[in-house]
Amino acid sequence: MVVLHRVAPQRGLLRVLLHQLRSQRTDGQTARHVLRPRGARPERSRTGHRSLRPEGLSRLGLWDNAVAKLVKKRGAESGGAGPRDWPSLEGLKRLSKVNDESLQDLRQDALACLAAALGAIDPERLVGSALRVRGRTLETPGRSFRLQGHRIHLLAVGKAAVPMARAALGKLPIASGILASNRPPNDIPMDRIRSFVGSHPLPDEGSLAAGEAALQLVDRLGRDNLLLVLVSGGASAMFEASPIPLEDLRLAYGSLLRSGLPIRDVNEVRKGLSLVKGGRLAARAAARGATVVGLIVSDFVGNP
């Protein structure tokens, strides 16, 4: 199994965001310029950076009225006569505009950090970069697999199953596959891929149907097959096969989630209730001689 991304601790994530922001600075301009809202008018602030001002509010007089009301309110609170150093209306307006520009700069920087972080962990991009075909060999981070004479089958499960499957379909000649997520795909070729919609955080009929379909797929595999497994957050509920009735299984899942136990302990118990968790599905495929390749997008620290 190859872990494509795992969540960093909070301080580490902050460093990543700051690095992403700095890496986008070119010629003294920051990434916030790319995220300027439509119709906004950029102008130079006192620091030389382009910033955004509420031009629409100024044109309508709403900005000036808001500042005037603030001055009047502060004057009333101080008995009608403010201190001598109380700023004039014009001074307060200038101060408000400076503060507004600074806040807009900070907001745009924050949005740039967010956009860079989301782009860095985009599931489709991660899978696309992790799968490389060179001749008759499939290369993944740290491993390579021979494709000659192999039929490739796909199993994508979790909240990011759709974009991850889309990336794999764009890179590999997938013969058949199963996709289990919390929403139906709208751009996946359904002639080769069977799609199932499961619930989260508790499994439902769709989750069990996806698990049963995966077991049937694995039981048809042989030495000339390669199974590509793409796993993302939420797969434990959206993809399940169990000898326990669904109602009892949901009660057990709910009790575990409300127990306050660490997620590792919760998963240890859930493995005992499942026919596919804990590596059981991969072992079932390997027992039939199939090659199993797993790519995982992990959504909590230290997993898997």
| Other CB atoms within 10 A of residue 175 CB | 13
**At residue 286, does pLDDT exceed 90?**
yes
CA angle 147, 188, 140 (to 5 degrees): 30
**Span 259-273, average pLDDT:** 90
Q: Are residues 151 and 78 in the same domain?
A: no
Residue 191 has pLDDT above 80, yes or no: yes
Confidence of residue 69 (pLDDT cuts 50, 70, 90): low
Q: In which band, very low, low, confident or very high, does the pLDDT at 108 lie, cut at 50, 70 and 90?
A: confident
State residue 97's pLDDT score.
57
Mark whether 164 and 21 lie in a shared domain.
no
Is it the case that residue 287 has pLDDT exceeding 80? yes
Give the pLDDT confidence of 3-40 residue by residue, as tens digits. Answer: 565 544 444 445 554 555 455 444 444 333 333 444 44
Last residue of a domain, one of 120, 147, 169: 120
* Assigned domain for 264 exists: yes
- % of the chain residues with pLDDT over 90: 45
Instruction: Based on the fold, state whether residues 80 and 181 are members of the same structural domain.
Output: no
pLDDT at 278 over 70: yes
Tens of pLDDT, residue by residue over 210-222, are 999 999 999 999 9
User: Among the three residues 84, 104, 120, which one is the final residue of a domain in this structure?
Assistant: 120
The stretch 276-290 carries a mean pLDDT of 93
Residues 109 and 235 placed together within one structural domain of the fold: no
Least confident of 103-117, 151-165, 264-278: 103-117
Domain boundary among the residues 52, 87, 120 is at 120
Mean predicted confidence (pLDDT) in 61-86: 52
In this structure, are 109 and 224 located in the same domain? no
User: Is residue 181 pLDDT above 80, yes or no?
Assistant: yes
Torsion from C-alpha of 14, 127, 178, 192, nearest 10 degrees: 150
Confidence of residue 114 (pLDDT cuts 50, 70, 90): confident
* 156: in domain: yes
pLDDT band of residue 276 (cuts 50, 70, 90) is very high
Banded pLDDT at 188 (limits 50, 70, 90): confident
What domain range includes position 79? 8-120
pLDDT confidence of residue 35: 37
- Residue 50: is its pLDDT beyond 70? no
The answer to whether residue 302 is domain-embedded is no
Overall number of domains in the chain = 2
> Mean pLDDT throughout 126-147?
90
Please tell me which residue, 163 or 85, carries the higher pLDDT value: 163
135 and 281 both lie in a single domain: yes
The pLDDT assigned to 36 comes to: 40
Q: How confident is the model at residue 142 (pLDDT cuts 50, 70, 90)?
A: confident
Is residue 2 situated within a structural domain?
Answer: no
Q: Per residue, what are the HEC states of the chain?
A: CEEEECCCCHHHHHHHHHHHHHHCCECCECHHHHHCCCCCCEEECCCCCEEECCHHHHHHCHHHHHHHHHHHHHHHHCCCCCCCCCCCHHHHHHHHHHHHHHHHHHHHHHHHHHHHHHHHCCHHHHHHHHCEEECCEEEECCEEEECCCCEEEEEEECCCHHHHHHHHHHHCCEEEEEEEECCCCCCCCCCCEEEEECCCCCCCHHHHHHHHHHHHHHHCCCCCEEEEEEECCCHHHHCCCCCCCHHHHHHHHHHHHHCCCCHHHHHHHHHHCCCCCCCHHHHHHHHCCCEEEEEEECCCCCCC
In a domain, residue 145? The reply is yes
